[in-house]
Structure 1
């Protein structure tokens, strides 16, 4: 069996972080980019990674497990001449922080997602508030459109869509849901068009189109 080294731990931890980033690329990274005002059709390439999410999750867990195993091997040989760069305390601190970062990245789509009940409560609160504020909340010229959104695969995706749409001038309110994958948008047609709205979602990596009336 090869002699353990902290270089092996560092490389495996780096691989775990890279795989965790891949696991979050389909949802969390687009949301972060949109929140920073960064957009473009190229983001759709990130959302296309969604089918491979669990592969990245598996790689992240395997690499993290190997990093922990390698550190355990180092701890079992205190008297050996194992090549090390950092002290045992520093290595364990880095490993612990790295493990936490991996877990947060892997779980981020769920951590950032809004539950169905929360979305319903927010929608009810918005409706109630609109009724109380009356015409002062939304001008009589407002229009409502339902957009069918493509590419939403997890609970964080509706938040990315909502963030992109709310950043468009003339939009009063947005409610985005995963099931069904759509966004209800209230906007001022004098300021913004439906085409502008679909461009905004496409720029966040989620193409959309107006829903045809049933």
Structure 2
């Protein structure tokens, strides 16, 4: 009975550890995008994107925790049923384990799901250049365009965060960001927003930038 309680607690603990590690693994990409989409920004977000080099460690921990939870549950299934009190029945516990595993895996792979493939990134860059040219003919002549070189983008999902942050600025007509090259093309009204304010916005989203060129 004590062994079953211990194993049950081990399953719960390892599943919780897997969820925590998965959240930490997504902190460099998915979480900043979610925060920026909700209008939350600040220089502190830069500390999240700084976790990118350690993402593989958190992914490894998440997978290891899930593997241990699965092994623990398998061990429990081999033991005879007992009349001991547990928080969940075996069916409920396994259902929660399955759902938890799917959530962990979804969080871990979210940067790839949100991003684009290398070939898609090239097409995205070409589309951004074409879009900028087309918009140049339709936007007011008083509008300006600036190309920002963006630092800190480590995966194909990062440009979405940069794009979302810039599009939320009053005075920005359009914004396109690409992973390769790591740039953002912004058309904006200089009477409402300055280039310095645009670079401050990307910095507050966790991706410092500087103007490459403007027109």
TM-score higher than 0.5: yes
Cα contact 1:7–1:84 (8 A) shared by 2: no
Counterpart residue number, 2:62: 60
Residue 30 (1) aligns with residue 32 (2): yes
Alignment of 1:51-130 (within 5 A): 51-80=53-82, 84-118=86-120
Q: TM-score, normalised by structure 2?
A: 0.89
TM-score between the two structures when normalised by the length of structure 1: 0.89
Shift in CA distance, 129/62, structure 1 to aligned 2, threshold 3 Å: closer
Question: Alpha-carbon deviation of 1:31?
Answer: 0.2
Q: State the shift of 1:131 in Å.
A: 7.3
Q: Name the SS for the 2:32 alignment partner.
A: helix
Instruction: Give 1:174 deviation, angstroms.
Output: 1.3
Q: In the aligned structure 2, how far is the partner of 1:83 from the partner of 1:46?
A: 41
CA root-mean-square deviation: 2.3
Comparing 64-73 with 78-87, greater Cα deviation is found at 78-87
Name the counterpart of 2:188. 187
Counterpart Cα distance in 2 of 1:40 and 1:131? 32
Counterpart for residue 203 of structure 1? 204
Deviation at 1:152, TM superposition (A): 0.7
Q: 8 Å contact 1:144–1:187 — kept in the other structure?
A: yes
Deviation at 1:158, TM superposition (A): 0.5
Paired residue total: 211
2: CA distance, partners of 1:33 / 1:41: 12
Q: 1:134 to 1:65 in 2, by over 3 A?
A: closer
TM-aligned CA deviation for residue 84 of structure 1: 3.0
For residues 191 and 21 of structure 1, the distance between their equivalents in structure 2, rounded to whole angstroms, comes to 37
Cα displacement (A) at 1:39:
0.3
Give the Cα–Cα distance (whole angstroms) in 2 for the partners of residues 200 and 133 of structure 1: 22
Offset of 1:127 from its aligned partner? Answer: 6.7
Report the equivalent of 1:3: 3
The aligned residue for residue 155 of structure 2 is: 154
- Specify the SS of the correspondent of 1:3: helix
Kindly provide the CA deviation profile for residues 157-193 of structure 1, in whole angstroms up to 9, marking residues without a partner as x.
1000000000011111111111221111111112211
For 1:149 and 1:129, the matched residues in 2 are separated by 19
Q: 1:55 to 1:120 in 2, by over 3 A?
A: closer
Helix, strand or coil at the partner of 2:177: strand
Which runs of 5 or more residues in structure 2 are unaligned? none
